[in-house]
Amino acid sequence: MNIETLSKRLIDRENPVHVHLIGVAGSGMSGLALLLLGMGHRVSGSDRVTSGETQRMQGLGLIFSSPHRADEVHGCDVVVYSSAIREDNVARVAAREHDIPCIRRADCLAAILHTRQGVIISGTHGKTTTSAMCAHVLRRSGEMPCHYVGAEIPVLGSNAHWEEKASLMVAEGDESDGTLALYQPEHCVVLNIEEEHLDFYRDLAHIKEVFTKLLDQTKGKKIYFSGCAVTKELCASRDGAISYGWEDADFVASEIIESGGTVTFDVTKQGDLLGRVELGIPGRHNVLNALAAIAVADAAEVDFQLIARALGTFAGARRRFENKYFSKKLRIIDDYGHHPTEVAATLQTARSLNPERLVVVFQPHRYSRTQKLADDFGKALQVADRVFVTDIYPASEQPIEGVTAQTIVDAVKVYGDTPAEVVGAVQTGHHSVGNALKDGDLLITLGAGNIHEIGTKIARDMSVMEEMLRYVGDDGAADAKLYEPMRRHTTILCGGPAQFWLEPHTHEAFARLIDYCHERGIPQRIIGRGSNLLVRDGGIRGAVIHPAGGVFTEVSVDGEILTAGAGARFKKVASVAASHGLTGFEWMEGIPGNVGGGLRMNAGAMGTETFDQVVSVTFLEQDGEIRERSRDEIVAHYRNVPALRQNFALSACFKGEQAGSDAISQRMDASKNKRRSSQPIAASAGCIFKNPEEIPAGMLVDELGMKKASVGKAMVSEVHGNFIVNTGKAKSADVLGLIDSIREQAKEQRNITMETEVQIIGEDEFTF
């Protein structure tokens, strides 16, 4: 079925056509579904996924199925497929077997467009925003056109709409596969023409052939940007040519002022001032898009005052400089830009908002585009203060050897000193990006794939984190960061990120954070220095509270009683005690942890345990109250204190004895020397296993012949068999693999079950 035949069938309201759309969940195909439903035809569709849009369309009459099936095309008059649908798709195969006509999305759109006076918006970039502007301006002026746009448009209500009595239809024309040449519109707009989609086109000359055919088939106005040499070459000498631009054009914008997310400018037509426009979205590139819309509306004889009023209420398209999050601390914007010219224009607009820093996360689109335009991307991204690059979005392309995200990073470094790094997969890229953000940043996600997911996740978690801090109340009472790597906070130097990293500085702030997490159902953990801790590579979902600074690191002495906050390091406690002539704390010199962790684990060394010296502990208890308990009220076992499973230690009082400085110094040196001689200097989590009844754990590992055994970058220490050391960028999975190997050998060779002393927490895989 050709375009002319289908076009005639579509206007026959007495005999509705049954059209089946394969890939109906995509933005282009869903637009066709909305148009065909509006025209009164029977529309069915299938996709491998369901979405909110497919559910909405079912409410409008779409017959939907998922996944694709062969029988879904039975009885159809025509099958339409998107570019993402392969020839071996079961529905396409069934349609061919039953001699049902199969056509491309663009053929169907052309057939619909030819039933009205079409206005095609074409160009390498800017099509979606300009199409939406044109449709919005015409609607607000009373023209009520049909429209078809390649994204969700909040101000229009949907990406496509059929208006039965409309004379005009505004449609975005896709040039990516040459189908732009199918259209025979009344008017067309050519925004720009650059080398793009070189996976389909041979070169720029090939691209010009397609645009030339579109212009040849346009009956009325040919509206073009005079600042693009190629569009000017193709359009300027044609009948009905109308130019727009910064100068020497029919429509000119001048006196441009960018402020507060809007842009205002004067418009002249052939030298005569028409008036001033305040555009409801920012960016000089959007001034050009608005000029194109003004020229289209002028061709439809719309009064300029109505045009200006409509542009003032235009709110933009989804993924076109879309504001995802805004607070005093952070702004997040998402944009579809994936060509160097688009990237440059978008970043220029972002700069006009005057952020403290402009942080960009860029997702390269297609291997071929990355290879061809890497240098141009490197130049365009120089506008940013910091750049993160995700893995390439392939868009069905096969990889090209040597072309990766690093290709873009290398180009950025060649053309300037903007810091740039690869963050890998989009699914986890938000961890590195979110952790790098600072107050006052503007974060912009750029790309045509699924890069928007990074901004969405950061916006979700930033909203929660900022609410946490507001709940605490006092400014400065707590600090917070997203996705803090736990390798920075464990002595073994490995572990995934904490979803929310919180550092309260007062008892009250600590209590309010705990209360907030309980009320909102957010998992929370209290972590000190991380000296007896192994965090899995998937990180820790929820809040990790790290008492730091303020009252938590204070250490004071009154007579023979030493009081220390939960965040105070054992090393500091030993030092303060010594300076006040108190003995009994020297063993702490050899312990890498802090008071809170020592209390929770009843840590010890040199024959002494933490609770041997405890006089009292101040707790934040389960009911939210802060109470002090004496030592007699607290049960403490070897490496286990039941009262601290559900309650939280805020501080503790310890009993010492007066002694001379020489005696204290000798004991301190003995503690240091013992640690140096018996424990590895390399990064570790302390003793990995509890001592079995039969034999000390370190001796057992030695007898098993497993000293220096390794998995990845984790290795059993040659100094002490009960220590696993990080020899350099070890993963937690390496450590866990080595632990399992030791356990297996102990069970197999000696029938001994080894129990870990190190705390193992977190997720095996990323879940946030």
Residues, the chain? 768
Residues with a catalytic annotation lie at: 127-128, 172
Beta pairing, strands 420-424 & 386-390: parallel
Q: How far apart are CA 364 and CA 326, in angstroms?
A: 26
Angle (deg, nearest 10), helices 284-299 and 304-312: 140
Looking at this protein, which amino acid is placed at residue 574? A
Amino acid sitting at position 252: V
Burial (CB count within 10 angstroms: exposed 0-12, middle 13-18, buried 19+), residue 158: middle
Instruction: Give CA separation, 120 vs 128, 155, 619, in Å.
Output: 11, 20, 70
Residue 70, CA distances (Å) to 65, 99, 195 in order: 11, 13, 39
| Backbone angle region of 402, left / alpha / beta, with phi > 0 → left and psi within -120 to 50 → alpha | left
Q: 327 Cβ partners below 8 Å, 6+ apart? A: 462, 466
Are the beta carbons of 514 and 553 closer than 8 angstroms? no
* C-alpha–C-alpha distance, residues 331 and 260, integer Å: 13
CA distance 662 to 651: 29
Q: Which residues pair with 609 in a beta bridge?
A: 604
> Between the CA of residue 254 and those of 120, 275, 667, what are the distances in Å?
26, 11, 81
Residue 384 CA neighbour count, 13 Å, CB half:
31
Helix%, strand%, coil% for the chain, nearest 5: 35, 25, 40
Beta strands 497-504; 386-390: pairing state: unpaired
Query: How far is Cα 79 from Cα 87, in angstroms, rounded to an integer?
Result: 13
Query: What would you report as the CA-atom Rg of the chain, rounded to the nearest whole angstrom?
Result: 34
Residue among 173, 170, 172 at smallest CA distance from 186: 170
H/E run at residue 367: helix 367-380
Burial of 753 (0-12, 13-18, 19+ CB in 10 A): exposed
Q: How far apart are CA 547 and CA 405, in angstroms?
A: 38
Q: How far apart are CA 723 and CA 533, in angstroms?
A: 13
- Which residue, 325, 300, 319, is CA-closest to 310? 300
Sequence-ordered list of residues with C-beta below 8 angstroms from that of 704, at least 6 positions apart, any chain: 742, 745, 746, 749, 750
Question: Could you give the CA distance from residue 106 to residue 174 in angstroms, rounded to a whole number?
Answer: 8
Strands 357-362 and 386-390: parallel
3-state secondary structure of 431: helix
**Could you say which DSSP state residue 397 is in?**
P
Which tokens is 388 given? 């993160």
Nearest to 749 by CA among 710, 700, 712: 700
> Are the C-beta atoms of 276 and 265 separated by less than 8 Å?
yes
Contact predicate 10/17, CB 8 Å: yes
Q: Which residues pair with 555 in a beta bridge?
A: 564
Q: What are phi and psi of 54, to 5 degrees?
A: -65, -35
Cα separation, 219 vs 56, in Å, equals 37
